[in-house]
Amino acid sequence: MSRTWNFAAGPAAIPEPVLRQAQTELLEWRDARASVMEISHRGKAFMALAAETERDLRALADIPAHYRVLFLQGGATLQFALLAMNLAAPGQHADYVLSGHWSEKAAREAAPYVDVRIAADARSNGYSALPPRADWRLHDDAAYLHYTPNETIHGLEFRDVPEAGQVPLVADMSSSILSEPLPVQRFGMIYAGAQKNIGPAGLTLVIVREDLLARAQRPMAGILRYAEQAAHESMLNTPNTFGWYLAGLTFKWIAAQGGLPAMAARNRRKADTLYAAIDGSGGFYRNPVDAAARSRMNVPFFLHDARLDTVFLRESEQAGLLALKGHRALGGLRASLYNALPQEGVEALVAFMRAFQQRHG
């Protein structure tokens, strides 16, 4: 077996104890005499698992009772359109903050269903810094205010939760959910693809305030309506049962590590270790993001000579450091430091970076 340190941005590393438990239970889950993938999602055994998983998540993230938790399919990208369809009436407008690739795409995908107004825009600085809060143009009559707390590609992160007043705040937390304590009550809706801090690709988590479910008045298929999914406990059609099961194991693993406060401390230490190595390299490595907005989850960085990128990627993989290639939209290199990656993995990366600089500097 040759498992090693995985810095992939998503699908990303899953905690090894979770994978080992799933391996042990793969053929026979509990007393079902079959795999969890093979039993009915409407049977008592899986319904009990689904309820247990939701209870564990509610306890982990302190989700208030007046929020519904949905386990859906289609990824966060589907929610770009669905949230506009469900939270805004035809002709209504919504405010969007652009801080990187994914917030930009969220606004673009929502545009057919809501009048998108750009409340703040960091495109002019190449998404190297967050738009100053004093410059945001918010509207009290907006259907909602949307932002992306962590930008996976450009490596920007909001360190606090924006104030939205009475307007529901909506957040794409795909790359930051469960990485630190989560003030759910500050939001109208939170959504996240699972493939970074929750589990495998194919599952999408939606946490939505109950009163917002009544907003969807436009004609749409029932499967696209949050209220309908909530009424059927996310089982309007056959759900991603294996993804749901693995998410449940991951929630238990996070709780066993000390919960979200412990995750926050671990993630801060990992990020500090890597940024210190970049900043202390004398310019051999470079991170272009404003220090006040640097992501703890996704760290893009560049070599002083881009011609060394291919060499770095080849040698790092040989050293047991996987998936360090930067996103095609940005180039360079990128290390994703999600919950499942331990401090030892970051230490291994930093040691390799120093040795690489000695060889090629």
Question: Mind telling me the catalytic residues?
Answer: 102, 172, 196
What tokens does 342 get?
Answer: 């331990």
Instruction: Round to whole Å and give the CA distance between 164 and 87.
Output: 15
What tokens does 244 get?
Answer: 């749901």
Three-state DSSP class for residue 74? coil
Instruction: Round to whole Å and give the CA distance between 266 and 283.
Output: 27
90-202-225 Cα angle (round to 5): 25
Residue 124: phi, psi to the nearest 5? -65, -25
Instruction: Round to whole Å and give the CA distance between 29 and 22.
Output: 9
Closest CA to 305 of 332, 334, 325: 332
Instruction: Round to whole Å and give the CA distance between 66 and 14.
Output: 30
Instruction: Round to whole Å and give the CA distance between 307 and 18.
Output: 39
**Amino acid found at 157:** E
Contact 349, 285 (CB under 8 A): no
Pairing of strands 189-193, 169-172: parallel
Contact 251, 263 (CB under 8 A): no
Contact 7, 352 (CB under 8 A): no
**Amino acid found at 273:** T
With 0-12 CB in 10 A as exposed, 13-18 as middle and 19+ as buried, what is 27? exposed
SS (H, E, C) 254-318: HHHCCHHHHHHHHHHHHHHHHHHHHHCCCCCEECCCCHHHECCCEEEEEECCHHHHHHHHHHHHH
**Amino acid found at 129:** A
